[in-house]
Amino acid sequence: MENPLTPEVLADPVQLTRVLVDIESVSLNEKAIADFVEEVLRGVPHLSTHRHGNTVMARTDLGRSQRIVLAGHLDTVPLNNNFPSTMRGDLMYGCGTSDMKSGVAYALHLAVTLPEPRYDVTYFFYEAEEIESRYNGLNLVAQAFPEWLEADFAVLLEPTYGIVEAGCQGTMRSVVTTTGVRAHSARSWHGVNAIHAAAEVLQRLQAYEARRVTIDGCDYREGMNAVRIKGGVAGNVVPDRCEIEVNYRFAPDRTPAEAEAHLREVFAGFELTVTDTAPGALPGLDAAPAKEFLAAVGAAPIGKLGWTDVARFAAMGIPALNFGPGDPNLAHHPDEHVEISKIRDGAATLHRWLASA
């Protein structure tokens, strides 16, 4: 492969994607790819570049009236016999091709090739999105250097298969607990079986009708599912406790407090403990840059079914959208790949949006 820092590679988002994919960057091992991104950006005269840990930020300061952020995470899930990259016709295979080094390549390509965008642009490349929030580079920078993220609008370059996915769902994990009385299984009538009591919890989930809501023309379908169950003491003991873990994906018109209240309504009569929550993000389609971006894409947006870091931008008061070339259904898949044509089309869309007068 060519030297990664040649002008030919940096000018071609496809070649640049492959270079990025071939730098192994499993979560918490992003130093090499952060070093590469930093080296590229520090060589661009129209940018000022800063680094915090393995998160790299570069920005233009052209005095434009509005600023936008193009953001992408540098890390991937663990390798699964899919490194380094391979090419098969119009497809590039490899860990991170879809999620989300092809999106990262967009931002890096534009940072190098577009010296005078119509907005001031912050290019943000961050670490540890695929693991716990405490490691997430976007989260860490928001705490340490919030001014790095000040903007009027943001595009998170997550895989969306070339369409705009607006906002995102919130997510909440909780544990519903049933209790009973221990007894010898040979004399079970002396006890109360907590696992049997869980049947009512599961029946409520089975009968649950997920809410659908349309916000700014984008449809969001909620979901509530049992994802783990734990119970039992021994092979000859009637259990006195059973825990059912429930994951609730809620539309962004609900706050976490409202989502929790709904959970408690569904499981009234049972002990319920919320163990983790993240708010959703409203579509954010009213911002002027968002409208202009949608015009450049030329297709109606859809609601994001899932949680992404657009919610972190929303929490900072920055409307944000998801847009990238990869197929979200291939994220974390052993056959993860991206279509070359999607990379080229998306790069052209972003360039058209940012370069237009």
Contact 33, 74 (CB under 8 A): yes
Q: How would DSSP label each residue in 258-311?
A: HHHHHHHHHTTTSEEEEEEEE--B-----SHHHHHHHHHHTS--EE--S--THH
Cβ contacts of residue 151 below 8 Å, gap of 6+?
Answer: 67, 68, 69, 122, 318
Tell me the pLDDT of the chain (357 aa) as tens digits.
Answer: 445 778 889 999 999 999 999 999 999 999 999 999 999 999 999 999 999 999 999 999 999 999 999 999 999 999 999 999 999 999 999 999 999 999 999 999 999 999 999 999 999 999 999 998 899 999 999 999 999 999 999 999 999 999 999 999 999 999 999 999 999 999 999 999 999 999 999 999 999 999 999 999 999 999 999 999 999 999 999 999 999 999 999 999 999 999 999 999 999 999 999 999 999 999 989 889 999 999 999 999 999 998 999 999 999 999 999 999 999 989 889 999 999 999 999 999 999 999 975
In this structure, what DSSP letter does residue 14 have? H
Q: How would DSSP label each residue in 191-252?
A: SB-HHHHHHHHHHHHHH----EEEETTEEEE-EEEEEEEEE-S-TTEE-SEEEEEEEEEE-T
Name the strand (E) or helix (H) holding 126: strand 120-126
Q: Check residue 186 and give its pLDDT.
A: 96
Rounded CA-CA distance 46/161 in Å is 31
Cβ contacts of residue 121 below 8 Å, gap of 6+?
Answer: 59, 60, 67, 68, 69, 70, 110, 111, 114, 354
Tell me whether strands 120-126 and 67-73 are parallel, antiparallel or unpaired: parallel
Choose, from 30, 75, 240, 260, the residue flagged as catalytic.
Answer: 75
The reply to whether the predicted model has a pTM over 0.95 is no
| Residue type present at position 262 | H
Q: How would DSSP label each residue in 24-42?
A: --BTT--HHHHHHHHHHHH
User: Is 30 noted as a catalytic residue in this protein?
Assistant: no
Q: Check residue 6 and give its pLDDT.
A: 84
Rounded CA-CA distance 336/299 in Å is 25
Choose, from 38, 129, 130, 339, the residue flagged as catalytic.
Answer: 129
| 3-state SS class at 52 | strand
User: Is 75 noted as a catalytic residue in this protein?
Assistant: yes
| 3-state SS class at 123 | strand
- 28 C-beta neighbours (distance < 10 Å), count: 13
List the domains of the chain with CATH numbers: 7-168+281-355 (3.40.630.10), 170-278 (3.30.70.360)
